[in-house]
A and B are shown apart, each in its own frame.
Chain A
Amino acid sequence: MEQDTFNVSAARSWREIPQPVKPRAMSRGGRWRRGLAAGRIVALVSLLVALGWGGWMVAAALRDSPSMPAAAKTVPVRAPKLKRTDGVLDDAWLARTLALPRGVSLMELDLGQLRDRLLADGQVVTATLERQFPATLLASITERTPVARLRVAQGAQERDLLVARDGVVFTGSGFDPAMIDLLPWLAGVTITPEAGRLRPVAHMEAVAQLLADTQLAAEHLYRSWLAVSLARFETDRELEVTTKDGSVIVFSAKGGFFVQLAKLDYIVEKLAVMRAGPMRIDLSLGREVPVRPLAEKPEARAAAAAGFNAFSSRFPSQLNREL
């Protein structure tokens, strides 16, 4: 049976008797125990205070302040390391980009500023820097992948740049040259500087989609392409592809590219059998696909044969639409 012997009633319970006693009513052993208990509390409080003070000191030391411990100041940073990347950049690029002063310590680095340096390279999408004591700076980055090439004129000189799917133009470091050579050139765009960088190319998503679909569905066609022009995209939503043999193919960006690519593949096969010269194939009209021979211009033929470099002098204005 359940026993309920410790409940409190309306009458006063023995538990209401105050238990604290005066020290003079305590025995020596009791006073010693009391002292021990008090000592335990003092020790506990001291420990908590010490922990709090220590934590505060460490936090203060970690701040960029003159009161930073001398030991932390004196250890120079070793070469920065890439902790993680999804692309081709390496430790050498990191060291070159960060350009850390010699003998600087971890605590003296302004990570925000260094991160901005990394992000200034268009190839870098995100960047995270972390200190690993005593002397290592670690970086984690994500990178852009190029989908096309671009040649721009800077004064009297020309520069080859890369364009990512989101239209960002960047120099490109660490990529395999053979892979870069396969990329088609981008034409029909105007590149303008903005805040010390080049403004991203508009409508690049359509170009990237066309190139990706072509690589996926008909890689032999992709390999034959020399340039993609965005010149008629604003007005007609059309992309104009120039092949290495001088042919011009017009794609409509209003719908998907797979059907157009299938038609193109069929037409190219037929033309190969017929041993036809450069043609203009217009896939933008729907069911009707006009295919007509191009009037051969010695200049264009020579340019096509020599690759795209022949037109470099026309950048950054516009790629020759007569190609």
Chain B
Amino acid sequence: MSSRTTFIGAVEIGTSKITVLIGEYTGRELAIIGRGECASRGVIKGTVVDYKAASDCTHSALQQAERDAGERIDLVFLAQTGGHLEGFYNEASVNVKASDNMIEPGDVRTVCDLAKAKELPAGRMVVHHIRRPFRVDGRMIPGSPENLVGQRLDVGYWTVHGQEQRLADNIHVIRGFNLEVRELVLASLAAGHMVTSAEERQHGVLAIDIGAGTTDFVLYRDGAPHTTGVLPVGGTHLTNDLGIGLRLTEGQAEKLKLRFGRANVHTKDKAHKVWLDGNFAIGDRQFPQQAIEQITAARAWELLEVVKKKVGNAFSPESCSAGVVLTGGSAKLAGIAETASKVFGVAAHLGEAPTWISENLRDPGYHTALGLLYYGVSAQAEKAATPRKGGRFLTGVKRLFANA
């Protein structure tokens, strides 16, 4: 990244709302200078189903953020979620070439290329290659294996891939505002990077981002992402169940969920009732609070069980000593940390943004957008550290024409 100031837009196109944060990146520091939000339309389970509606909402949020910041966005880091995203693990190994068995950069490059060289089905595209630690003769190497002595070098990649059309739809929504999508970042990686500390990631931690339409998770082991996943289940399912169970409209059910929903049953008195609106207006009625809690708790338990099943054998209480961290808008459901703790058998807590994040951005709904900025910028910085072909001037001119 060049030394000039860049205004980066972090965009999360969610099922319930679209969030945009603008970061002013000087090459050394990142400051958040603008925020924009808009209720989402045309997006179901993290997937754009109505291009016009989704574009209008996203562009509205982008304009709001630009007004707030007083600057124009140069490029965008876009969060990616949706049930179409899948992941698989592929491993490769090479024999060390040098006669003295010292591992050279060429060996590392070869084994990495081999591990990533797995063909995808037609219509699928790679979103991320997440490398797991190298192994030299079975010994785990947290850093680079270069110049170590060994006979065999192994490495594995967790590859996240998605459907081409769905990815393109998201990108085109941003391009419709004449902005370049510089990075596509898995929402779970962004949120997980924000709510977990480096120490937790080293000890093993499962970060679960429960949104309205999807639930994203990332399991960290040995300091790096190990497994990621997306479930097309989220807070709206709790709302739907409430609506069906109590014969309510979606809006009414959402209101009840936010006011009285819990991830565990807390109310003992079956006769205790709560008002739908509480304003004594015509149509206002009462519902047993225990029934509300039972419905939401059952659904929350089920959701977390599905996550546990999806993570599979990669998760074990022993390998995940830092426990479970919950984030996302639906993680505000009362008692969800206790439920998660019971489901996974490890300690669980709600994720919090680092203390240096300002108070108005500490809501779990911003964790993904915040993570997008910080994860994306660190990835950009890593890329900038490697030599690139072409001069800065040429790159600038190319970008100028690309923006037109």
Contact = CB atoms under 8 A, between A and B. Distances in A.
Interface of A: 1-14, 16-17, 19-21, 25-27, 29-31, 33-34, 37-38, 40-41, 44
A278 B179 CA distance: 105
Contact of B142 (A1, A5, A25): A1
B400 A41 contact: yes
Contacts of A16: 125
B223 A1 contact: yes
A27 B177 contact: yes
Contacts, number: 128
B404 A11 contact: no
B101 interface: no
Contacts of A31: 178
Contact of B181 (A19, A33, A44): A19
A11 B176 contact: no
B129 A34 contact: no
Interface stretch (B8-16, B156-164, B351-359): B156-164
A1 B143 contact: yes
- What secondary structure prevails in chain A residues at the interface with B? loop
Contact of A34 (B117, B162, B400, B404): B404
Nearest to A26: B176
Nearest to A13: B126
B379 interface: yes
What band does the interface of chain B fall in when counting residues whose beta carbon is under 8 Å from A? 35 or more
A11 B168 contact: no
Given A5-B129, A14-B162, A41-B404, A29 B142 contact: no
A1 B133 contact: yes
Nearest to A21: B175
Contacts of B126: 8-9, 11-14
Given A10-B116, A41-B404, 20 more contacts: A1-B224, A3-B130, A4-B129, A4-B131, A5-B128, A6-B129, A6-B383, A9-B126, A11-B116, A11-B117, A12-B125, A14-B126, A17-B168, A25-B175, A26-B177, A27-B59, A30-B175, A30-B176, A30-B177, A31-B178
B228 to A, nearest CB: 10
Q: Which one of A20, A27, A41 has the greatest number of beta carbons of chain B within 10 Å? A: A27
Contacts of B113: 9-10
Interface string B111-154: 01100111110001111111101000000001110000000000
A262 B403 CA distance: 89
B20 to A, nearest CB: 13
The listed residue with most A CB atoms (<10 A of its CB), out of B129, B161, B180, B225, is B129
Interface string B164-190: 100110011001111111011000010
A5 B379 contact: yes
